[in-house]
Structure 1
Amino acid sequence: MQLYGLKNCDTCRAARKALPDAEFVDVRDSGVPPAILSTALDTFGEALVNRKSTTWRGLDDAARARPPLELLQDNPTLMKRPLIVDGDRMVLGWTKAAQTEMGV
């Protein structure tokens, strides 16, 4: 199981604490593998892009108009966090529903 997020994100910290066996990948340092990013975008669509983030607010209109996959590849911190990958299963965020799905 991999947990993609940011080491200084409170939500990611909570998920890491609840899932101690998950391999943590800091997207700022390592990014997200293209195959996983594509699958996540197919699974979650536009919800994968965090439009409330500081990174999003710093983008100009031209950058915001780019395809989501390109945006996320160039700016991995734009991804809603955490993205949890467990085999073929993907969970986005750390809501009560996500916690239930992960068995926490």
Structure 2
Amino acid sequence: MVVYGIPNCNTVKKSLDWLKAHQIDFEFHDFKKKGITPEKLNKWCDTFGWEIVLNRKGLTWKKLTKEEQATIDNQEKAITYLVENTSAIKRPIIEKEEVAILISFDESLYSQTLA
């Protein structure tokens, strides 16, 4: 299992703490340091929807002008933006056997899906 995120994100920290508390083995992929491919983002967008993968509540998105935000109006444009601005990816994203199964942190979903 691979957890994708950035280590200083509070939601990622909650997720990692939950996994450790439940003794679930995982590999951590810091997409700030390791980056992320358009192919991986496309898979996630196909699973969750690009509107979900693009974190519109974070500072990276909010730093854009309304005009800049308005230009990101489909999956292709979102992926182009996210490859360059990995902090705007909703996180964490958990993959099991290379299939994305969870996005963000919801303890009840983690319990149902992972425990």
- Mark the runs of 5 or more structure 1 residues left unpaired by the alignment: none
Calculate the TM-score normalised by the size of structure 1. 0.86
Aligned ranges 1:38-77 → 2 under 5 Å: 38-45=42-49, 46-64=51-69, 65-66=71-72, 67-77=77-87
- Mark the runs of 5 or more structure 2 residues left unpaired by the alignment: none
Query: Residue 102 of structure 1 aligns to a residue in which SS?
Result: helix
Query: Which has the higher Rg, Structure 1 or Structure 2?
Result: 2
Give the fraction of aligned pairs with identical amino acids, expressed as a percent.
30
Calculate the TM-score normalised by the size of structure 2. 0.79
* 1:99 CA drift (Å): 1.1
1:96 and 2:107 are equivalent in the alignment? yes
1:27 and 2:24 are equivalent in the alignment? no
Choose which of 93, 104, 107 in structure 2 pairs with 1:83: 93
**1:17-64 Cα shifts (integer Å, max 9, x gaps):** 222421111121112233221100111111111101000011134532
Query: Residue 8 of structure 1 aligns to a residue in which SS?
Result: coil
